[in-house]
Structure 1
């Protein structure tokens, strides 16, 4: 009895637990590691980011995580871990010119800093204690500037966890606050104010209007050759003569009527405003099929998105079958058994249809592309099985064949995807213009800035960067760095930072709610609209919740994106964690985004979300961004006038959030 008491007293005195908790060593490569990645390039378990064996200074590793370029891995430990260990270094097949720095950050404290490491350096050991740590970040920082093969490794990486606990994703439980007021019951026309079409090509335009149904539509001043369905508001036909025509649109229901002027420009330029719609890749990836596409189109109507101007239903990679038909063009695979009927049905809803292709022999998903090393254009099963080896433009090319087939089907949009070079872009541009149909031409991905004048000349939109991911880092890289592209975007040729990352998305992992916080989502939609970019929803439309639907149906925000002047916002202030983006509008007013980006990218800690972030008070001095005098300010998200302000405006901006204003000179 006395011995037991004495043992307890000794244990308490030296703070040794009488019954120690069990621990387990957990390999990072046994986790679903992609789900923890908030960077942009690939993250792979047990291999390099390229899928090769991990090799650091001649030493092979069978365990670990391979990353590419700047990499961010974020874990929620909730105090259930005790230790992290690894060997870090630049992979022997990586870029020899770029220094990498590895950091381990826990609850805002840097626990490990490797210093600059280069290819050929011996791996450095990491061993840090994590007792009580809530959030852990593993960061590799490298100034890659778009260069490829920037490979590095967290070799033999292990977490020691208490009991059977596992690391989780960083919580995203902030209030999903709704700002936009409900849509009014009386009619309001939300269509873009200008629309372009080519003479003698099929014309399709739908009057987008909110308000109680039933609703009837009419139009005065339509050019000869066009007709309007008064029940649906769908305008179809062909216009033979070039020119600019002004039509007055009308929408009427039991509560009243609304009118709006529409400029119809029949000429050489289409896509006079950025395309706005849906793309299937971040919803369904390779699992896309005809039923899912139809469900998306029907949901766009059922959810009322079409009443706010959302138009395109775009099928991404994985629809392609074999070559055939009268044009020897790409035909749909067995997931799309009634392709023509599907297109006709979607057009009947007043929506437009897009497809995906590539000038390469195989697409990124491994389907047939627009070229071949065989004269008949076919690809073999062995090519499909080794798809990575055939991601190049083959000897025989079929742009004209495919463009004619797209036109015959009634396709309205083409996403053309590869490592972009001018000759392939030009060949398809010519083929589409000769197809007999207006097909919006969007090239992807990572268009080289050095050739931006060619993209403006040849295409209707061009991807300015890599594939987007649902993280603040990816959004920041994709959109907050677009100022140098801004002078080149405009009517007929738009800067494209990729799809929107709201709702449920599958960007490299299974379908899950976006990891952007609500504040970051408001910033996302605001900046895309200010930049006059394409707005392409990347989530299953039928799964939209009230918050996301509200985010996508603010007509004043969409109007800024669709402004006929077509000017991109410019970055006019970037200081003390605040960015100001300023966009001139056709009516002489300005759209402004005040963004609290914090010190993102400036310190290792800034790459992670710690859960204790706060708002920042900011004085918006008009003169410092080139605006002088008095302005009436309107809160665009709340659709509320704030009053007249002389010279400045003081506001709080939430962390990674935005205050979006429209400014009218007084």
Structure 2
């Protein structure tokens, strides 16, 4: 036998041995934790439709599969260890008749299957796609649903053939978590809002937030009668009876120097003159929230220095509510929240504010006591608790006045009111809060109809502009990058709310896990929310913040853009070569500009997924194209670095799904 022939024989037996050792097996998609692979917003459910019903297409029932709603994005990391994907796809028989759905299977940027348009009543189509060598797999259903519900379609009998019992993973998120913002200096810097509104005769709680070495002493010149300052904590409390605008000068001093800031204190009919900035517990703990977790969050807000940058609210979401009772026959806290008023007082002493959740429905979304009932006394018997979903509607007897008075007596500062929003329910609670004897920020949720935006401006302090946010680029894009039409309605006292922030460790649909946003996407997230003058509500456990996320949340120049007293929302002025240009005018005559590399997201099936080979884009920002004429001093906001003076254009690199956030100061 020649040496060449011998080598061929050895190679043959080696290849055969490897092939034999790599056994394959079928893996039903509905046996996987499907929610963890979903990067869309609506529900994704195993073995049922997205509504929880049986999967039925063209009259045929299916016991296996994954049901999705509207545009759906499922992303899997296969690492080359799958050989085939098979399924039957189509519109569910309970879906919407006239809407076309289009199914795609995409592997490593290549479209492997395209169903073409499919409608209700069409026969399901077979999918049989080889996956040898594919590392990243995307399953996309594209529907132009225009906000309509019940847009149900299915991946029936969906399964993967994998080697050696491999289990698909979520898409890796291992990009460098680079820190841009420099550390805060030891010298004092005041970071609290420069305008504050309160109602005559109602309690005032305002904290002078300041960074710098402790100990620090505070002073306030020009405080109106009725207010006092704690010089050690910077906490201003009391009541002001006389209407008017009071010019107050705040000062913070330590061993390294002093800082001053002017405050316009407006006593009148308007509160919430800047967007709220704080924390909400739902995306941290969901139904598992309790007194200990809330207190731990408040302590962490102070201990980690967030309160020094102006972070204020500690908001308890759904799952605190118990039975009605007390002197107002109002919702009382359940067994997870003993000594409720004591907890509120403790948080106030830290210089923070407290929020809670309620709903005008009989039951909340988590199944707890709501603000109405079909029983005159508002009772919540076992018959309701046994079938909570059946009582997600507004009952015959409503208790807005009683509940608002109870919130005021406890010292609550913020109410998140959550349901499929209607104007009458919103108005009843608005009136009740204004008559409660306390200034309570009023936030309504979720998916406020745009057609009634003038009512939301009139009645509320913030209104959720869309569905619940998820920690994916698609959800962030839908929640924030589409808000330009809402922009003219935002302003002091009434803010467009794209939902909580999806940074850190979150529980959006699955167990607590690190956000799936890349570091670049997280910079874009915080930048755009600030440009939009959106409420900034941290959605992760504060005590678990790492250095990268804490750095994202403590750039005072970014927060200042969000808290600017002018209260103008940025507008989307142009989109050029996959880069969106958002511009926001600020009170001092300067402009904040966000240059976002959105990568033509949504324009091709491939653009819905992250393939791991994305690159930065070179971009020239032409000032004249957005109406900026003259000379401007240019500042990189994230790096807190002045870049010089520009007149015509500025050239930069923008990372994929990343941002360059600028502030332009006119030069005379």
Q: Distance in 2 between matches of 1:180 and 1:93?
A: 51
Shift in Å at residue 629 of structure 1?
1.7
Q: Which residue number corresponds to residue 239 of structure 2?
A: 238
Secondary structure of the residue aligned to 2:173 is coil
Q: Which residue number corresponds to residue 553 of structure 2?
A: 552
Q: Which residue number corresponds to residue 514 of structure 1?
A: 515
Are residue 505 (structure 1) and residue 506 (structure 2) matched?
yes
Q: Which residue number corresponds to residue 181 of structure 1?
A: 182
Shift in Å at residue 418 of structure 1?
0.2
Shift in Å at residue 90 of structure 1?
0.6
Q: Which residue number corresponds to residue 45 of structure 2?
A: 44
Matches within 5 A, 1:418-437: 418-437=419-438
Shift in Å at residue 389 of structure 1?
1.0
Offset from partner CA, 1:469-513 (integer Å, 9 cap, x none)? 000000000000000000000000000000000000000000000
Structure-2 change in CA distance of 1:138 and 1:533 (3 Å): same
Q: Which residue number corresponds to residue 303 of structure 1?
A: 304
Structure-2 change in CA distance of 1:370 and 1:125 (3 Å): same
Secondary structure of the residue aligned to 1:73 is strand
Q: Which residue number corresponds to residue 527 of structure 1?
A: 528
Q: Does structure 2 retain, via aligned residues, the 8 Å contact 1:273–1:563? A: yes
Are residue 395 (structure 1) and residue 396 (structure 2) matched?
yes
Offset from partner CA, 1:128-180 (integer Å, 9 cap, x none)? 00001000000000011111001111000001110121100000000000000
Q: Which residue number corresponds to residue 92 of structure 1?
A: 93
Q: Which residue number corresponds to residue 381 of structure 1?
A: 382
Shift in Å at residue 656 of structure 1?
0.2
Q: Does structure 2 retain, via aligned residues, the 8 Å contact 1:8–1:18? A: no
Offset from partner CA, 1:540-596 (integer Å, 9 cap, x none)? 000000000000000000000000000000000112100000000000000000000
Shift in Å at residue 388 of structure 1?
1.4
Structure-2 change in CA distance of 1:628 and 1:67 (3 Å): same
Shift in Å at residue 9 of structure 1?
3.9
Structure-2 change in CA distance of 1:7 and 1:554 (3 Å): closer
Q: Which residue number corresponds to residue 35 of structure 1?
A: 36
Q: Which residue number corresponds to residue 570 of structure 1?
A: 571
Secondary structure of the residue aligned to 2:298 is helix
Structure-2 change in CA distance of 1:333 and 1:645 (3 Å): same
Q: TM-score, normalised by structure 1?
A: 0.98
Q: Which residue number corresponds to residue 125 of structure 1?
A: 126
Q: Which residue number corresponds to residue 608 of structure 1?
A: 609
Offset from partner CA, 1:377-420 (integer Å, 9 cap, x none)? 11222212211111100000000010000000000000000000
Secondary structure of the residue aligned to 2:25 is strand
Q: Distance in 2 between matches of 1:18 and 1:557?
A: 55
Q: Does structure 2 retain, via aligned residues, the 8 Å contact 1:11–1:17? A: no
Are residue 342 (structure 1) and residue 330 (structure 2) matched?
no
Matches within 5 A, 1:566-645: 566-645=567-646
Structure 1: runs of 5+ lacking an equivalent: none
Q: Distance in 2 between matches of 1:123 and 1:10?
A: 47
Q: Does structure 2 retain, via aligned residues, the 8 Å contact 1:313–1:354? A: yes
Q: Distance in 1 between matches of 2:104 and 2:387?
A: 36
Secondary structure of the residue aligned to 2:249 is strand
Are residue 140 (structure 1) and residue 141 (structure 2) matched?
yes
Q: Which residue number corresponds to residue 204 of structure 2?
A: 203
Offset from partner CA, 1:598-629 (integer Å, 9 cap, x none)? 11000010000000000000010001111112
Q: Give the number of equivalent residue pairs.
A: 664
Q: Distance in 1 between matches of 2:19 and 2:88?
A: 32
Are residue 664 (structure 1) and residue 665 (structure 2) matched?
yes
Q: Which residue number corresponds to residue 370 of structure 2?
A: 369
Note the aligned Cα RMSD (angstroms): 1.5
Q: Distance in 2 between matches of 1:615 and 1:152?
A: 35
Structure-2 change in CA distance of 1:119 and 1:7 (3 Å): farther
Q: Does structure 2 retain, via aligned residues, the 8 Å contact 1:101–1:140? A: yes
Shift in Å at residue 18 of structure 1?
6.2
Matches within 5 A, 1:411-422: 411-422=412-423
Q: Distance in 2 between matches of 1:631 and 1:19?
A: 65
Structure-2 change in CA distance of 1:335 and 1:18 (3 Å): closer
Q: Distance in 1 between matches of 2:111 and 2:251?
A: 61
Shift in Å at residue 664 of structure 1?
0.9
Shift in Å at residue 373 of structure 1?
0.5
Q: Distance in 1 between matches of 2:386 and 2:355?
A: 27
Q: Which residue number corresponds to residue 105 of structure 1?
A: 106
Q: Does structure 2 retain, via aligned residues, the 8 Å contact 1:102–1:113? A: yes
Q: Distance in 2 between matches of 1:102 and 1:13?
A: 42
Q: Distance in 2 between matches of 1:385 and 1:447?
A: 29
Q: Which residue number corresponds to residue 167 of structure 1?
A: 168
Are residue 219 (structure 1) and residue 220 (structure 2) matched?
yes
Secondary structure of the residue aligned to 2:454 is helix
Q: Which residue number corresponds to residue 272 of structure 1?
A: 273
Secondary structure of the residue aligned to 2:158 is strand
